[in-house]
Amino acid sequence: MSYVDEVIEQVIKQNPAEPEFHQAVKEVLESLRVVVEANEEKFRKDALLERLVNPERQFKFRVPWVDDKGQVQVNTGYRVQFNSAIGPYKGGLRLHPSVNLGIIKFLGFEQIFKNSLTGLPIGGGKGGSDFDPKGKSDREVMAFCQSFMTELCKYIGADTDVPAGDIGTGAREIGFMFGQYKRIRGVYEGVLTGKGLSYGGSLARTEATGYGLLYITEEMLKCNGQDIAGKTVAVSGSGNVAIYATQKAQQLGAKVVTVSDSTGWVYDPDGIDVAALKEIKEVNRARLTEYKKYRPNSEYHEGKGVWSAKVDIALPCATQNELDIEDAKTLVANGVLAVCEGANMPTTLEATEYLQKNGVYFVPGKAANAGGVATSALEMSQNSERLSWSFEEVDSKLKGIMVNIFHNLDSAAKKYGFDGNYVVGANIAGFEKVVDAMNAQGIV
Ligand code: NDP
C-alpha cells in the first residue's frame, strides 16, 4: 500500500467518528500524492505525514456559565494547536452547536496550509465551542465568553497562539474574550485578532476575508482571459464573509443575486442591497426573511436552493459541505464558470471533482479565504509595533497577498503537471514550506 493510503487509513482508524477531519486529510493527502511519492523513502522514515496529521496538542475543557434565568449551563470548549513549524498557532474560534473535536481538527488541519500560503509566519490552530450565541442576551454571551477565556488563557499568548473570530465569533465575542484575558493574565498584548479599532484592531480586518476572496477570484479570472465585471454571482451565507464578498463583488462590477442563512435564501434580480443586508445581520441580528421589506422585488425561499440560481460565479461563504454533488450538477447545467470557496470546505469532495471535470475554475477555501488570516497576521504586526496602518495600506497589502497566493498555487500546479488544478496547487504550495521548516527543526 502507498504511504499516502496507509496514513489515510490510520487517520480513519485512530480518529473514529470524525468524518470532516477524515475528509480534510483525504483531500490534502490525495493531492500531495505526487510530491510524497517523489520523496517516499525519506518521508516514511521521518514519519512526516504521521506528524503532520497529528496535532501537536489539543485541549478540551468545561465551560460553565449562568443564563438569564439563573440556570447553570455547561458547554464544551476546544483548542487544537496543530502545527507550529512556521510560526505561532493562528486560527479562529467557532461558536456553533455543531462544533465537536472532529470539526475543530478539520479546520485546524486546513489552517496549516492556508497560513503557509499567505507567506506570513503563522502556524495552524483552531478552537471553539458548541455554545450558540444566537438568541442569547449580551449578558449571557459575556458570561460564556468570560468562562471560556478563563480556561483558554492558560494555553494562548501573543507569541504562542493567537485565536481570532469564525462562525459565531464576531467583534462582540472577541471584545469580551480580550477583556477577560487581560484581566486574568494582566498583560495588554495582541493575543486575539479581529479586535475593535479602539483596542488594537486593524482597519480592514472585518472586510478582509470577503474582499480577499474577490481579489483572488478577479486575479484567477484575469489569468484565464476573463473579466469579473459584468458577471452574475451567487453568494451563500449572510455573515461576515458573505457580506464583504458581496460588497467587493459589486465594487468590481459584478452583480450578486443571492445570499442565504441556515433557514432560507434570498434571490434579488436587481442585485443584493448590501446596506440592507448589513442592517439586518450586523445591526438587528435578524433573519433574512426581513430582506423583502427593504426590496419588495426580491424573493425569499425557505430551505436549501441557493445554488439553483443561474450564475457565472458561485461563492459559497456559509459552512462546510453546503455545496454537494446535486448542487454541482445544477451549477454546471446552468453554465457556471467558476466556484471560489469563501467558507472552509463548503464543497464536498464529490462535488469538487465534478466541477473540475466539467471545466469549472475551482479555487479551494484554503487559498480563497486566506485573506482573513493574512490580515489577522497584519494585525499582529501592528500590535507588535504598537502602530496602526491606514485602511488603504492594509487593503493594498491584502490584495498583494491574494494575488501572490494565486500565482504561487498556479505555478505549483504547473510545476507538477496539474495545470489549472488549483486544489493540487494550493495543497502543494502550502505543504512545501511547512515540510521544509519541519525538516529543519528535527524530530519534534
Ligand atoms: P458568520 O457566523 O458571520 O456567518 C455564517 C453564515 O453561514 C451565516 O449566514 C449562517 O446562517 C450560515 N451558516 C452557518 N452554519 C450553517 C449551516 N450549518 N447551514 C447553513 N448555513 C449556515 O461566519 P463567517 O462569515 O465568519 O464564516 C463563514 C465561513 O467562512 C466559515 O466556514 C468560516 O470558517 C469561514 N472563514 C471565515 C473567516 C473570517 O474571517 N470570518 C476566515 C476564513 C474562513 P445563520 O445565521 O442562520 O446561522
Distance from Cα 444 to the centre of ligand 1, integer Å: 34
Atom nearest to 208 CA in ligand 1: 40
Instruction: Say yes or no: CB of residue 246 within 6 Å of ligand 1.
Output: no
Catalytic entry in 126, 195, 231, 248? 126
The cell numbers describing 319, all together, are 459552512
Q: Which residues of 51-68 are buried (b: 16+ CB within 10 A; e: fewer)?
A: ebbbbbebeebebebeee
List helix spans (H) across 87-236: 101-117, 138-152, 171-185, 205-223
Q: What is the pLDDT of residue 444?
A: 93
Q: Please, which residues bridge with residue 232 across strands?
A: 255
Q: 111 near 76, Cβ under 8 Å?
A: no
Give me the phi and psi of 400, to 5 degrees please: -60, -40
Q: What is the pLDDT of residue 198?
A: 97
Q: 378 near 394, Cβ under 8 Å?
A: yes
Q: What is the pLDDT of residue 347?
A: 98
Q: Which residues of 162-171 are buried (b: 16+ CB within 10 A; e: fewer)?
A: bbbbbbbbbb
- Whole-number Å distance between alpha carbons of 409 and 256: 27
Identify the helix (H) or strand (E) that includes residue 266: strand 264-267
Atom nearest to 96 CA in ligand 1: 15
Q: Which amino acid residue places its CA nearest to atom 37 of ligand 1?
A: 166
Q: Which of 284, 319, 323, 373 to mutate to test the pocket of ligand 1 (most atoms within 8 A of CB)?
A: 319
In Å, how far are 27, 64, 112, 158, 226 from 58, measured between CA atoms? 22, 20, 15, 18, 44
Q: Would you give the distance in Å from CA 155 to the centre of its chain? A: 22
Distance from Cα 369 to the centre of ligand 1, integer Å: 12
Q: Decide: residue 331, CB within 10 A, 0-12 exposed, 13-18 middle, 19+ buried.
A: buried
Q: What is the pLDDT of residue 89?
A: 98
Tell me, letter by letter, the H, E, C secondary structure of 49-82: HHHHHCCCEEEEEEEEEECCCCCEEEEEEEEEEE
- Whole-number Å distance between alpha carbons of 381 and 3: 39
Mark whether 126 is an active-site residue. Answer: yes
Instruction: Say yes or no: CB of residue 167 within 6 Å of ligand 1.
Output: yes
* Three-state SS at 182: helix
Give the other-Cβ count within 10 Å of 325's Cβ: 16
- Whole-number Å distance between alpha carbons of 202 and 162: 15
Instruction: Say yes or no: CB of residue 116 within 6 Å of ligand 1.
Output: no
Distance from Cα 237 to the centre of ligand 1, integer Å: 6
Atom nearest to 170 CA in ligand 1: 3
* Three-state SS at 157: strand
Q: 338 near 214, Cβ under 8 Å?
A: no
- List the pLDDT tens digit at each of the 444 positions of the chain: 899 999 999 999 999 999 999 999 999 999 999 999 999 999 999 999 999 999 999 999 999 999 999 999 999 999 999 999 999 999 999 999 999 999 999 999 999 999 999 999 999 999 999 999 999 999 999 999 999 999 999 999 999 999 999 999 999 999 999 999 999 999 999 999 999 999 999 999 999 999 999 999 999 999 999 999 999 999 999 999 999 999 999 999 999 999 999 999 999 999 999 999 999 999 999 999 999 999 999 999 999 999 999 999 999 999 999 999 999 999 999 999 999 999 999 999 999 999 999 999 999 999 999 999 999 999 999 999 999 999 999 999 999 999 999 999 999 999 999 999 999 999 999 999 999 999 999 999
Instruction: Say yes or no: CB of residue 268 within 6 Å of ligand 1.
Output: no
Instruction: Say yes or no: CB of residue 133 within 6 Å of ligand 1.
Output: no
- Whole-number Å distance between alpha carbons of 127 and 156: 11
Q: Would you give the distance in Å from CA 202 to the centre of its chain? A: 18
Q: 93 near 75, Cβ under 8 Å?
A: no
CA atoms within 13 A on the CB side of 95: 23
Q: How many residues does the chain have?
A: 444
Instruction: Say yes or no: CB of residue 163 within 6 Å of ligand 1.
Output: no
Q: Which amino acid residue places its CA nearest to atom 46 of ligand 1?
A: 261
